Amino acid sequence: MHSKVNLTSLLVMLCMALMLAVWTFAHNNALLSDFSLPINLVSVLPNSTDKNSTDPNERNGTSTRILCWIMTGSQYHSSRAQFVKQTWAKRCDKHMFMSDEENADLPAINMNTSTGRHFLWQKTKRALSYLYEHYYDSYDWFLKADDDTYVIVENLRYFLNSMDANSPLYFGCHIRGLNGSPKQGYMSGGAGYVLSRTALKKFVTEAMKDPNKCHVNGYSEDVEVGVCLENVNVSTGDTRDEHKRHRFLPISLEKVLVWKENDAQAQWFQGYAVHQIKKPKQLKQNTWRCSSQRSVDTHMCRWA
């Protein structure tokens, strides 16, 4: 199993290196640069010479501390969770997996819930309570991701460095509320979302203690989180870049690379995103400019 994991990790890193090489060429070529391939996901990488580099070893004392917590299940401890651990999770200041079974190697914390989508809301509440109880004072931002999400932590740091963790803020891919609830919308769970330390505190100490503000039972974990946060005055933030392109991508990278309007993922993203996807001029009909050059993540990764 370890040899398979190591081989897969090597392939992932080789793919990322290839993407960087293509992006570098595209960035220096007027035509391809205008095409804005989503390979720009890797525009900020470790050991970058960019003067604004946010490599943890190059931050010159910047105090942005990020804890990354990843939803997984015991059936993925030796596959998805290992790939996440060996790739992007190590770039966080601290990472942990929230699971149905403890695993010291990952590490994974047992949330004492069953597996499956129907139990995600209970698992999420327990995870956020655990983070508040054990890590509230130690970190500024708390990133939730799935085990099939790839995060470019350097780009996340770059974005968060200008934000105030002491304000009640909540970031991610902004989706319209279902039937108007929550009114301010919510952040897609698949694309990951980030809570400031103040938002985490308000969720646990205010929202969760009042069933009128935070539902005891629920199905769609990301919607429920949005409802709870709205009811305790936590604001949604706009994560798009200066060109109004999305940083948090709730769909797979392959769908971003080759955009097809009749694709189910593309239709969902286009139909429910609060901030509509930009369609560039003078490009092919099925080509869309949706990803930022400093994109934070992409969802639905096929690790193996």
Task: Count CB neighbours of 136 within 10 A.
Answer: 16
**pLDDT exceeds 50 at position 193:** yes
Residue 52's pLDDT band, with cuts at 50, 70 and 90, is very low
The edge-to-edge listing of strands for the beta sheet with 66-71 is 108-110, 94-99, 66-71, 141-146, 193-196, 169-172, 235-236
For the chain, how many structural domains are there in total? 1
Q: Are 303 and 246 in contact (CB under 8 A)?
A: no
Give SS3 for 76: helix
96 strand-pairing partners: 69
pLDDT at 164 over 50: yes
CATH number at residue 130: 3.90.550
Q: Which residue has the higher pLDDT, 253 or 80?
A: 80
Q: What is the largest CA-CA distance in the chain?
A: 56
CA distance 162 to 64: 9
Beta partners for 171?
A: 194
Summarize the confidence of residues 241-270 as an average pLDDT. 82
The pair of three-digit structure tokens given for residue 183, joined into one six-digit string? 């009114």
Is residue 185 one of the residues assigned to a domain?
A: yes
Q: Quickly count: other Cβ atoms within 10 Å of residue 135's Cβ.
A: 17
- Tell me the one-letter amino acid at 174: H
Q: Within 10 A of 57 (CB to CB), how many other CB atoms are there?
A: 8
Residue 175: inside a domain:
yes
**For residue 53, is it within any domain?**
no
pLDDT tens for 272-291 read 888 877 655 544 555 556 77
Q: Alpha-carbon distance 39 to 22, whole Å?
A: 8
> Helix axis angle, 120-135 relative to 221-231, nearest 10°?
50
Question: 6 in a domain, yes or no?
Answer: no
Q: From start to end of 197-298, where are the E strands? A: 235-236, 248-249, 297-298
- Burial category of 223 from C-beta neighbours within 10 Å (exposed 0-12, middle 13-18, buried 19 and up): buried
Asked whether residue 285 is assigned to any structural domain, the reply reads: yes
Task: Judge whether 242 lies within some domain.
Answer: yes
Cα R_g (the chain), whole angstroms: 19
- Whether residue 50 lies inside any domain: the answer is no
Element (H, E) at 128: helix 120-135
Q: Could you tell me if residue 2 is inside a domain?
A: no
Task: Give mean pLDDT, residues 142-151.
Answer: 96
pLDDT at 186 over 80: yes
pLDDT of res. 288: 55
Q: Is the pLDDT of residue 37 over 50?
A: no
pLDDT value at position 251?
A: 81
Q: Compare 109 and 9 and report the one with higher pLDDT.
A: 109
Tokens of 136: 């509230």
User: In the predicted model, what is the mean pLDDT of residues 217-240?
Assistant: 95
* CA–CA–CA angle 148, 238, 19 (5° rounding): 45
Residue range(s) defining the domain that contains residue 154: 65-304
Res. 17 pLDDT band, cuts 50 70 90: very low
Q: How much is the pTM?
A: 0.79
